[in-house]
Amino acid sequence: MTFDVGIIGFGPAGMSAAIYAKRFGLSTIVFEHGISGGNAALSPLIENYLGFPEISGSDLVAAMENHAKKYVDKFVDEKVADVSGGTGRGFELETRREREKVRALIIATGTKHRELGVPGEQKLRGRGVSYCATCDGFFFRNKKVAVIGGGNTAAVEALYLRDLGAEVYLIHRRDKLRAEEVYYKRLNEKKVNLVWNTVVKEILGEKKVEALRLENRVDGTVSEIQVNGVFVAIGDDPQNEIPKMLGVTLREDGYVAVDQNCRTNVKHVYACGDITGLFNQVVVAAAQGALAARSAYEDLTKI
């Protein structure tokens, strides 16, 4: 069977694309090998999605997923290993066990957490080094932890860990957070320890995280801080392997270049959500998913 639209990724963008594609009368197949909902599912708290003043990422994503799956003709819980075709002839997507054909392709692969790239990080990954407070925070209740980063994600994770009873150090390489002002106020109210102008040089420990070696970027002094865990929240990198396979144009930062209607430079290939690097917010991803589906409909039906 050849599906009208193949969607790779089932976060808010992919879910929205599935709903709109089906409502436009297009048959849809979705590929998702990770957790449905992407990074949004891992957020402890979302306060800026329209209609939900306060909701956990997992709850919001669960509602979206229940809605979207009603519109999916086939769901493949596997990673797309290879994509071929194009030039208006459709595409063939191959996983470990399946091979499917689609007329158009919507890429909603999102981003992955950026790593520090310091000694000890890989060795102690899963042994105190984490990239998701929602996933692993429970194990650090009433312990001492560090969160690395200065954006909204880092601030939210620090507050979440503090609410679990952890003593939290938020370590940022600059002298001011990039996070919204509302988070800065809450960090002070919750008595999160803010460590400015500091970078992590090494994560120390034999079988588990025991300490961090830090360097002050202003005076160059090196110090150590004893912690039981470290949560890395320094940003994300685009998961652009599929676009590269197809010859899709990427921006200098690796994100997919799209027009205002989510079309790429490759015929019948569209991208939406965080992979476009526009504004990594759930509301934007959902809107782009709808746009991508509409563009696919217009192009496939020659409207």
- pLDDT tens for each residue of 221-266: 999 999 999 999 998 999 999 999 999 999 999 999 999 999 999 9
- CATH 3.50.50.60 fits domain 115-232: yes
Angstrom distance (rounded) from CA 246 to CA 129: 35
* Residue 37 · residue 274 · CB < 8 Å: no
Which residues form the catalytic set? 132, 135-136
| pLDDT bucket at 303, cuts 50 / 70 / 90 | low
Angstrom distance (rounded) from CA 15 to CA 19: 6
Angstrom distance (rounded) from CA 75 to CA 6: 10
Domain covering 2-112+236-300 in this structure, CATH number: 3.50.50.60
3-state helix, strand, coil in the chain (%, to 5): 30, 30, 40
State both tokens at 256. 């997919």
Condensed to tens digits (0 to 9), the pLDDT of residues 61-111 reads: 999 999 999 999 999 999 999 999 877 789 999 999 999 999 999 999 999
28-31 vs 2-8, strand pairing mode: parallel
Task: Determine the angle formed by the axes of helices 181-189 and 152-163, rounding to 10 degrees.
Answer: 20
Angstrom distance (rounded) from CA 111 to CA 229: 23
Share of the chain above pLDDT 70, in %: 100
pTM: 0.84
Task: Determine the angle formed by the axes of helices 282-300 and 12-23, rounding to 10 degrees.
Answer: 30
Angstrom distance (rounded) from CA 204 to CA 213: 7
Q: What is the DSSP string of 46-86?
A: B--BTTBSSB-HHHHHHHHHHHHGGG-SEEE-S---EEEE-
Angstrom distance (rounded) from CA 190 to CA 162: 7
3-class DSSP state for residue 221? Answer: coil
Close Cβ partners of 210 (under 8 Å, ≥ 6 residues apart): 128, 204, 226, 227, 228
| pLDDT bucket at 45, cuts 50 / 70 / 90 | confident
Task: Give me the pLDDT at residue 1, please.
Answer: 78
* Residue 213 · residue 199 · CB < 8 Å: no
Condensed to tens digits (0 to 9), the pLDDT of residues 148-167 reads: 999 999 999 999 999 999 99
Condensed to tens digits (0 to 9), the pLDDT of residues 280-294 reads: 899 999 999 999 999
Condensed to tens digits (0 to 9), the pLDDT of residues 203-227 reads: 999 999 999 999 999 999 999 999 9
Residue carrying structure tokens 């601030």: 155
CATH 3.50.50.60: which residues of the chain?
A: 2-112+236-300, 115-232
Amino acid 202 reads E
Condensed to tens digits (0 to 9), the pLDDT of residues 9-33 reads: 999 999 999 999 999 999 999 999 9
